[in-house]
Amino acid sequence: MLCHEDKNDHIFIHLVESANFNKGTNKIYLGVAGNLFAFACKVSFEKRYEGYVAFDSKSVLIEHYKKKLGATHYNGNRLNAKPL
């Protein structure tokens, strides 16, 4: 599930969530969360925001998003990401 909002210069992601059956080591599908972030970036490109998205992360996932998505830690738990 993805919940996002158009902020007129970027897309803000309020929620990214995988189904319970698709979490942990026994997940059925790989890359679900990454594809949801990619979809938000696609929307950002379609809106001519150059792919920029922002989102708030759980603090334990900040380093994960920086590593996996190339996100930039902005302030508090807020991160910004732009596709390469």
Q: What is the pLDDT of residues 34-80, one digit of tens each?
A: 899 999 999 999 999 999 999 999 888 899 889 988 899 988 899 98
Domain boundaries, the chain: 2-81
Buried b (16+ CB within 10 A) or exposed e, 46-57: ebebebbbbbbb
pTM (predicted TM-score):
0.85
Owner of token pair 């189904």: 19
